[in-house]
Amino acid sequence: MPGTDCSKSLSLMTPAETEKAHRFHQSFPRYAQTPLVNLSHLASYFGIRGILVKDESFRFELNAFKVLGASYAIAKYIAGELGKDVSEIDYGVLVSDETKKKLGDITFYTATDGNHGRGVAWAANRLRQKSVVLMPRGSSQARFENIKKEGADVTITDLNYDDAVRLAGKMASGDPRGVIVQDTAWEGYEEIPGWIMQGYGSMSFEAFQQLKEAGFERPTHIFVQAGVGSLAGSVAGYFANLFPEDPPVTTVVEASAADCLFISNLAGKLVGVKGNLSTIMAGLACGEGNTISWEILKNHARFFVSSPDWVAARGMRVLGVPLKGDGKVISGESGAVTTGLLFTLLRDGEYGDFRKALGIGADSVVLLFSTEGNTDPERFRDVVWDGEFPSGNL
């Protein structure tokens, strides 16, 4: 894509940049690293060394990881307005009367299925600014209410996600004090999405430290979900920087209804998918990929998987009803799809060729990210209590 290259994109996710984001997040009140749940009994069941799940349902009491990117991007924007680097400021500076007097009112615009918008709304509210959030058609009422509670001006539109993004950008450009904070990038809009990816890096930074504390030197395999690909690019970029000679085998997992990166990998270039993008994985219902994360993924992700909804539902049940002795992870549809895929590949015999290609064996340590908790309670009950979307065939 014009304006992007792999080395530039990869440099966003160096250990130094990631640690800078992590130090900033540590300055927030109530910061705490989220758990890395060691599913040791499930790993033993499948005859591998480790399966570890980063549980983002505890992130700032917001039930999802997205706030990491939104808060860091907003902080970097405000730091720039103050003529400072983000490393020179912290939460206390951002919420001070002096900063508010210098900046006045800024309105941060975004489009979201729920988690990113809630993160933008939460961060803007905490930092004494405003937010406008557009949601695509079919968005959950529970997610709408959660965003509204954070003080945002929020609307469920009659648009799909990608068109809602375009509308949010248009609204921001028409507001003299408006800023679009979107977790995807396109030609001409790449700085703020890069900051969001760096903010997501806090999660990878924590996970790597926790892995070592648990006695694992490093992950051999990573499964990470993707909507536009910002999280996947952040994770793949961070670990590619840590282990440039031998990075973990990274598998990118998308919803089949919105598998733009899977199709892009086949096409050899970034392409989009159109339509309603109907899937229970609302956080992954994105038809157009992030240009800067794609530059990382096309070079540093080994596999791309287009996953049907039943795989996510299986993951929710596996995490919510673990083997005796393993910790329970309450994971939503988008958060559980990687666990559902790993479970399916290791358990179901027809995927032996894929298992062989992945190289998962007795010494493998698999890192998974449960990116959200129970953010849509009605859907969660339908899946976990009532068995909606039973296991099928890929």
- Is the pLDDT score of 275 beyond 90? no
The structure tokens listed for 133 are 């959030």
Radius of gyration, alpha carbons of the chain:
20
| pTM to 2 decimal places | 0.93
Angle separating helix axes 191-213 and 291-300, nearest 10 degrees: 40
d(CA 12, CA 172): 25
- Is the pLDDT score of 2 beyond 50? no
- What local confidence, expressed as pLDDT, does residue 1 receive? 37
| C-alpha 53, offset from chain centre | 14
For residue 259, indicate whether it is catalytic.
no
Would you tell me how many other CB atoms lie within 10 Å of the CB of residue 179?
Answer: 21
Higher pLDDT, 61 or 242: 242
- What local confidence, expressed as pLDDT, does residue 303 receive? 98
Average pLDDT, stretch 80-92?
94
| Per-residue DSSP letter, 362 | T
Q: Convert the pLDDT of each residue in 20-37 to its tens digit.
A: 999 999 999 889 999 999
| Per-residue DSSP letter, 59 | G
Helix (H) or strand (E) holding 365, with range, is: strand 365-370
| Per-residue DSSP letter, 275 | S
d(CA 247, CA 145): 41
- Is the pLDDT score of 5 beyond 60? no
- Is the pLDDT score of 112 beyond 50? yes
d(CA 220, CA 228): 24
Higher pLDDT, 153 or 394: 153
- What local confidence, expressed as pLDDT, does residue 6 receive? 66
For residue 130, indicate whether it is catalytic.
no
Angle separating helix axes 67-81 and 115-126, nearest 10 degrees: 40
- Is the pLDDT score of 271 beyond 60? yes
- What local confidence, expressed as pLDDT, does residue 187 receive? 86
Bin 146: left if φ > 0, else alpha if -120 < ψ < 50, else beta: alpha
Q: Is the CB of residue 13 less than 8 Å from the CB of residue 238?
A: yes
The pLDDT mean for the chain works out to 94
DSSP code string of 71-115: HHHHHHHHHHHTT--GGG--HHHHTSHHHHHHH---EEEEE-SSH
- Is the pLDDT score of 151 beyond 70? yes
pLDDT band of 3, cuts 50, 70, 90: very low
Would you tell me how many other CB atoms lie within 10 Å of the CB of residue 324?
Answer: 5
Domains in the chain: ranges and CATH: 6-65+192-384 (3.40.50.1100), 67-182 (3.40.50.1100)
Q: Is the CB of residue 258 less than 8 Å from the CB of residue 162?
A: no
Laid out side by side, the sheet with 153-156 consists of 153-156, 130-135, 107-111, 178-180
| Per-residue DSSP letter, 189 | B
Question: Which one is catalytic: 55, 113, 162, 259?
Answer: 113
Q: Convert the pLDDT of each residue in 183-198 to its tens digit.
A: 888 889 999 999 999 9
Question: Which one is catalytic: 20, 54, 66, 76?
Answer: 66
3-state secondary structure (DSSP) of residue 132: strand
- Total residue count of the chain as it appears in this document: 394
The structure tokens listed for 224 are 């990470």
Would you tell me how many other CB atoms lie within 10 Å of the CB of residue 5?
Answer: 11
Q: Convert the pLDDT of each residue in 286-340 to its tens digit.
A: 999 999 999 999 999 999 999 999 999 999 999 999 999 999 999 999 999 999 9
